[in-house]
Amino acid sequence: MKFICPNIIFIVFLLSTATITSSQSESSETNIISRFQQFLKIKTDHPTPNYKQSSDFLISQAKSLSLQSQTIEHVPGKPLVLLKWTGTSPELPAIMLYSHTDVVPAEHDKWDHPPFDAHLDSEGRIYARGSQDMKCVGMQYLEAVRKLKQWGFQPKRTIYLAFAPDEEIGGHDGAEKFSLSRVFQDLNVGIVLDEGLASPDDYYRAFYAERSPWWLKIKAVGIPGHGAKLYDNSAMENLLKSIEIIRRYRASQFDLIKAGLKADGEVISINMAFLKAGTPSPTGFVMNLQPSEAEAGFDIRVPPTADTESLERRIAEEWAPTWRNMSFTLGQFKQKVSGCDASGKPVVTKTDSSNPWWALLENAVQEAGGKLGKPEIFPASTDARYFRNLGLPAIGFSPMANTPILLHDHNEYLHKDEYLKGIKIYESIIKAYASYDEHVNDERSKDEL
């Protein structure tokens, strides 16, 4: 009879247990990534986003997590999906985890992998439109809730997850109408988390304000005539003068960033969006005819700290002066978006001790093994502005470290490891936010005094 050493049996047991645990872990991660890919594959790109398929998917996820759900349509065909995890103290102001479901169009022929295939390459990168902006965040919310429920966590505050339409075209039929609705008022929201940006280094980025979009259209008119004749103040000549003046101003703002004096979100950025002129012909344009009209469009982003009155004077007096036969329109989808409230003060979320939500975010990120960088002004625009306009604190945050910024770019991707890390970060944040009781903290402050 052969005897087997007990130590060998124990080692074999440990190895087999480790193998089973590893297998289960891999299966869990595989399912998490698979759900992310499913969401990415839904074509919610403009101009015809498939909101129905997106909503059906989100509601199915809500059912699997035993979350309450409702679909709100302030405009027919543009649903906002609202999920609810009721807290044990529902009278406390609620937490809103906000995201948008729409994405910008993609030029398919410019991508290495089809933008709606959610291709996972051998290096672990998930290529898809929306992988960074911002289907990742919406799914990370859901996966974090899934983990917290598995642990038996009970939130003190009610948690809402909002998935809104139309952010990429201004949010007017989504977040704006939602923020002004009676439905939103009845939610008693105390803090809103919205999207941020990827970070190329180890530090996660968090945003307390954002630049407002001013979409400027400049039109020049002049005498039409033969292409060989030199005219003073022709439409094209006047428009090109304006473009050169604007280009110099843009360069001065860009120099501040290059010199490290200001961050992206702290300067006024200007980029030409379109140039329209010429007389069309069956083969292109009439080459021997000077056009009587010429037009250009500019995407301007204005930080809340900027002198907007000075900028408007600059546009009227330098960029599109009437004495040069020029006119302009300024707005974003029929209206200019202001970065100030009714009293003229910049709309920002405080990042000092007066805002406990900011400190809770910092601590939660650190507890999850992450590092938070210096508070920033978001260089573009998000739906968070509609909630800040109501006086609510709103923080932009997307946990994507060591990741190139690829929103709206070709070959947008997110590495699966960063996606999984982001879920752990949100687990920590949601747990901290949902457990926060300001009354308890007020009493502690009094005791310290």
SS (H, E, C) 225-251: EECCCCCCCCHHHHHHHHHHHHHHHHH
* Catalytic residue (choose from 166, 167, 194, 412): 167
Across 229-238, average pLDDT: 89
Alpha carbons 207 and 348: distance in angstroms, whole number: 9
Strands of the sheet containing 125-127, edge to edge, are 119-120, 125-127, 413-415
* Catalytic residue (choose from 45, 102, 194, 295): 102
Name beta bridge partners: 82: 70, 162
Ranges 1-5, 238-242, 299-303, 439-443: which has the least confidence: 1-5
Alpha carbons 30 and 43: distance in angstroms, whole number: 22
What is the model's pLDDT at position 99? 98
What is the model's pLDDT at position 223? 86
**Catalytic status, residue 167:** yes
The annotation status of 383 as a binding-site residue, yes or no, is no
Q: Would you list the DSSP string of 414-447?
A: EEHHHHHHHHHHHHHHHHHHHH--HHHHHHHHHH
The annotation status of 186 as a binding-site residue, yes or no, is no
Q: If you search the block for the tokens 């703002």, which residue do you land on? A: 253
Question: Is it the case that residue 125 has pLDDT exceeding 90?
Answer: yes
What is the model's pLDDT at position 439? 67
Across 92-105, average pLDDT: 98
**Catalytic status, residue 102:** yes
Better pLDDT: 337 or 296: 296
What is the model's pLDDT at position 2? 45
- Looking at residue 413, the DSSP 8-state letter turns out to be E
What is the model's pLDDT at position 441? 57
Name the burial class of residue 254, with classes exposed (0-12), middle (13-18) and buried (19+) by CB atoms within 10 angstroms of its CB.
middle
The annotation status of 112 as a binding-site residue, yes or no, is no
Q: What is the pLDDT of residues 311-360, one digit of tens each?
A: 999 999 999 999 999 999 987 533 445 555 555 567 899 999 899 999 99
What domains can you pick out in the chain, each with its CATH number?
34-209+342-448 (3.40.630.10), 212-302+305-331 (3.30.70.360)
Ranges 57-61, 200-204, 421-425, 442-446: which has the least confidence: 442-446
The annotation status of 107 as a binding-site residue, yes or no, is no
Question: Is it the case that residue 5 has pLDDT exceeding 60?
Answer: no
Torsional class of 43: left (φ above 0), alpha (ψ -120 to 50), beta (otherwise): beta
What is the model's pLDDT at position 446? 40
* 133 closest CA partner among 430, 396, 358, 424: 396
What is the model's pLDDT at position 226? 87
Q: b/e per residue, 187-216, with b = 16+ CB within 10 A?
A: bebbbbbbbbbbbeeeebbbbbbbbbbbbb
Q: What is the pLDDT of residues 23-45, one digit of tens each?
A: 444 449 999 999 999 999 999 99
The annotation status of 133 as a binding-site residue, yes or no, is yes
pTM value is 0.84
What is the model's pLDDT at position 241? 96
Residues near 194 by beta carbon (within 8 Å), at least 6 away in sequence? 98, 99, 382, 383, 384, 387, 394, 395, 396, 397
Alpha carbons 275 and 225: distance in angstroms, whole number: 20
Question: Is it the case that residue 287 has pLDDT exceeding 60?
Answer: yes
